[in-house]
Amino acid sequence: DAGVTQSPTHLIKTRGQQVTLRCSPKSGHDTVSWYQQALGQGPQFIFQYYEEEERQRGNFPDRFSGHQFPNYSSELNVNALLLGDSALYLCASSPTTGGSSYEQYFGPGTRLTVT
């Protein structure tokens, strides 16, 4: 049973560019959350997708957007990249939304470097 997968593993972009990160959830999971982990910080919640809609959103600007597909996989898009967007981006899946006692399963992350 494949766990959560993310692609690409690493990415280098230039300021002002746009980037798309991808995530496939664990089999049987329908909810995907995205997190940003900057250096020295814990993961910060970006948003969560369920039934192809954004259900929850953290304190991130509109430059951060996402999408969920019918097969539950998800994309994170960041427009007009800033140096401060350099971070590890984690995707997590869980079997349902609204259940805070459900374990989240994390992918290995995508390391984004903005130069």
Task: State the residues that interact with other proteins by CB under 8 A.
Answer: 3-4, 31, 33, 35, 40-45, 48, 55-56, 58-59, 90, 94, 97-109
Whole-number minimum distance, CB 80 to other proteins, in Å? Answer: 24
Nearer to other proteins, 14 or 101 (CB): 101
Residue 87 beta carbon to other proteins: minimum distance, rounded to whole angstroms: 13
Tokens representing 18 are: 């746009």
CA distance 41 to 44: 8
Pick 79 or 104: Cβ nearer other proteins: 104
Q: Whose Cβ is closer to other proteins: residue 61's or residue 99's?
A: 99
Smallest distance, other proteins to C-beta of residue 77, A: 20
